[in-house]
Amino acid sequence: MAFDQLLAQWKHLARHEDDLTQEYESIVGDGKAIEDRFYQDLAFGTGGMRGVIGFGRNRMNIFTIRRAAAGLADYLLSDDEVKQKSVAIGFDSRKYSQRFAKETALVLAARGVKAYLFPSLRPVPLLSFALRHLHTGAGVVITASHNPPEYNGFKVYAEDGAQLSPRAADGVTEKIRKLTFEECLPMDEQEAKEKGLLTIIPKEVDEAYNAMVLKLMVCPDKARKAGKDLKIVYTPLHGAGNLPVRRALKDAGFEHVSVVPEQELPDSNFSTVKSPNPEDPAAFTMAIPLAKTVGATLIMGTDPDCDRLGCCVMDKQGSWHTLTGNQIGCLLLHHILSALKDQNKLPANGAVVKSIVSTAMANTLCEDVGVTLFEVLTGFKFVGEKIQEFEESGSHTFLFGFEESFGYLSGTSVRDKDAVNAALILAEAASACHLEGITLYERLQQLYGQYGYFAETTHAATYKGKEGADKIKAIMKELRREAPKAIGGLKVLVSRDYLSGIQVENGVETSLGFPPSDMVYFKLENNAWLCARPSGTEPKIKFYGGAMNRDSMAEAQDAVNKLVEAFIALSE
């Protein structure tokens, strides 16, 4: 269908939506703006769909939400493996999130699928917990995670509590494509309630979740003892973490938790930050002065849907350091493993799971205590799959999982990254340090001194629109064209193409044994590595790298920066 026909169709479709009608009027005659909104349907994948809020089929709006909900309903009804034809639904503080969540519930109801809806914003991990607790067949969260304010998303979970598998995502996509926007209508809310097709999730689920998070602590006595004087600053960055994070910390015995007042309440514009992303040091601009005032040594922040945790730690000189996701992951991992080992509770079949692009320091930490480390593709659903595999086979006991992109999990009742769980364990780790007279920063330096200085970096290049998508494909094609013999002066020892599933080492090809993924990886000499992959949720391609130096973080960081620069140059 030509763009002018689609434009006319959508003008009629959105005639009762004032915001969409205004946007339509603003793009009339602008060919590029129209093309960007209509050249494709908003993509649905293993993470659901995510995009800029606005007018058109390549935007997040009430009509793309309804169509996605209807497609999910049709998939659940057609899949015999899904026993429960019901969906738990949550949402965060973003623009239209609550409305999109209710529309999702009412479209599901209209197609005969029972919806369980949270009455107000909740963290993503609480939704994952809720669908397992309520035994629903799927879950949906309306969120765009840490993206800028103009984004929103439709994130889908399977009945195990993890994000959709590629097979399931393809199944939902197939159902969505068969639907027109006009036919995906919601049921009346009162009718849905009267027919038992819409239920508000009770407070009991929140209580059960909080109790579960507290049970994941590995040395609660230390936390309660140190919590009497350890001072912490927390910022929810206007998101869903405010109440559950504060409650977990309070119930664990942390008596001095100060919340950044300007960032405490929900705000869909995230007006105090450029982007509500705890990965960005700028997110802590307001938290640091408060920490200095109250005498805190730890600052923690969560993103709008509270699945990512970032932090700042103070050194003995009073300077603040924003930690990377890899550094936080290693501090959490070390704390859990060392506490279990000290208590003689470390299981013989203990397992840790991390993404391929996360720090190699985790491998060293696990080797030191005799714990098996598994590597998975990027995307926390693959950590969830490992947990399920361990439970079904009985082969391993899951202890911890993490990604360099600030996602962590230490339990099995949730199957996605959980910043409430992570915040409590990090506070507990800070307690252990506090009782030793050090901070988390000094603990990190101790680990570097013992295991070596591991440095990582990530460069993300953004290419928007159709031209951008084509550019990203061209970059990946160039990196696959011929495996380099050396990068940045270091010899390539192993090359892996996760799309073809082939690894090449010393000229010998072997199978990787992973699901297909658009990613290339190179293992280099001197414990260095490089990787490139397009983002699954944003119009970006990411270049990752890691290096290790026995004596100096500065030298390790300089080495990896140069390697990634050389790597990017290969694709240009």
Per DSSP, the residues of 337-367 read HHHHHHTT---TTEEEEEETTS-THHHHHHH
Residue 497: pLDDT band (50, 70, 90) is: very high
Final residue of a structural domain among 424, 451, 478: 451
pLDDT of residue 46 exceeding 80: no
Residue 371 is encoded by which pair of tokens? 């714990």
Residue 465 is encoded by which pair of tokens? 């629109």
pLDDT score, position 482: 81
Q: What percent of the chain has pLDDT over 90?
A: 89
Nearest one of 158, 54, 42, 101 to 305, comparing CA atoms: 101
Final residue of a structural domain among 423, 451, 479: 451
pLDDT tens digits, one per residue of 221-235: 999 999 999 999 999
- Residue 386 sits in the same domain as residue 367: yes
CA distance 252 to 392: 32
pLDDT score, position 450: 97
Q: What percent of the chain has pLDDT over 70?
A: 100
Residue 526: pLDDT band (50, 70, 90) is: confident
Residue 110: pLDDT band (50, 70, 90) is: very high
Task: Work out the number of other CB atoms within 10 angstroms of the CB of residue 5.
Answer: 10
Residue 538: pLDDT band (50, 70, 90) is: confident
List residues bridging with 496 in a β-sheet: 503, 521
Residue-range definition of the domain harbouring residue 26 = 1-36
Residue 464: pLDDT band (50, 70, 90) is: confident
DSSP state of 43: P
Task: Give the count of domains, the chain.
Answer: 4
pLDDT of residue 537 exceeding 70: no
- Residue 540 sits in the same domain as residue 476: yes
pLDDT of residue 47 exceeding 90: no
Residues 6+ apart with CB under 8 A from 102: 117, 189
- Residue 384 sits in the same domain as residue 286: yes
- Residue 164 sits in the same domain as residue 70: yes
Mean pLDDT of 258-268: 97
Q: Sign (positive/negative) of CA torsion 438, 439, 441, 446?
A: positive
pLDDT tens digits, one per residue of 410-428: 999 999 999 999 999 999 9
Residues with a catalytic annotation lie at 145
- Residue 289 sits in the same domain as residue 438: yes
- Residue 281 sits in the same domain as residue 427: yes
Mean pLDDT of 133-151: 95
Final residue of a structural domain among 409, 426, 451: 451
pLDDT tens digits, one per residue of 80-89: 888 899 999 9
Nearest one of 310, 309, 287 to 233, comparing CA atoms: 287
- Residue 414 sits in the same domain as residue 561: no
- Residue 458 sits in the same domain as residue 447: no
Average pLDDT over the chain, rounded to whole?
A: 95
For 106-122, b/e burial (b = at least 16 CB within 10 A) is bbbbbbebbbbbbeebb
- Residue 81 sits in the same domain as residue 97: yes
CA distance 195 to 11: 34
pLDDT score, position 210: 98
Q: Domain holding 527: CATH number?
A: 3.30.310.50
DSSP state of 41: P
pLDDT score, position 123: 98
Residue 467: pLDDT band (50, 70, 90) is: confident
- Residue 277 sits in the same domain as residue 370: yes
Q: Domain holding 278: CATH number?
A: 3.40.120.10
If phi over 0 gives left and psi between -120 and 50 gives alpha, with beta otherwise, what is residue 185?
A: beta
pLDDT of residue 1 exceeding 80: no
- The more confidently predicted of residues 447 and 48 is 447
- Residue 323 sits in the same domain as residue 185: no
- Residue 340 sits in the same domain as residue 387: yes
pLDDT tens digits, one per residue of 186-244: 999 999 999 999 999 999 999 999 999 999 999 999 999 999 999 999 999 999 999 99
Residue 504: pLDDT band (50, 70, 90) is: very high
Q: In what order do the strands lie in the sheet with 397-403?
A: 372-376, 350-355, 397-403, 407-409
Mean pLDDT of 428-450: 97
pLDDT score, position 252: 98
pLDDT of residue 536 exceeding 90: no
**Are 480 and 502 in contact, with CB atoms under 8 Å apart?**
no
pLDDT score, position 571: 79
Q: Whole-model pTM?
A: 0.94
Mean pLDDT of 63-67: 98
pLDDT score, position 4: 85
pLDDT tens digits, one per residue of 288-298: 999 999 999 99
